Amino acid sequence: LVQSRPLRFVLLGLGFFFLALGFVGTLLPFIPTTGPVILAGFLFSKSSERFDRWLLSNRLFGGIVRDWRSGVGFSVRAKIIAVVAIVATFSFTVFFATDSAAVRVAMVLLALAIASYVVSRPTKREPVKQLT
Which residues, including other chains, have CB under 8 Å from residue 22's CB and lie 6 or more apart?
32, 33, 34, 35, 36, 37, 40, 61
CA angle, corner 46, sides to 8 and 23, nearest 5?
Answer: 90
pTM (2 d.p.): 0.72
* Distance of alpha carbon 61 from alpha carbon 34, whole angstroms: 9
Measured in whole angstroms, the distance separating CA 56 from the mean position of its chain's CA atoms is 15
Which of these, 131, 15, 10, lies nearest to 65 by C-alpha position?
Answer: 15
Task: Please write the tens of the pLDDT for every residue from 52-88.
Answer: 999 999 999 999 899 889 988 888 888 888 888 888 8
User: Does pLDDT of 38 surpass 70?
Assistant: yes
**pLDDT category, 132, cuts 50, 70, 90?**
low
Task: Please write the tens of the pLDDT for every residue from 39-51.
Answer: 999 999 999 999 9
Contact 73, 122 (CB under 8 A): yes
Which residues, including other chains, have CB under 8 Å from residue 52's CB and lie 6 or more apart?
41, 44, 45
Q: Determine the 3-state secondary structure of 125 from DSSP.
A: coil
Percent of the chain residues topping a pLDDT of 70: 95
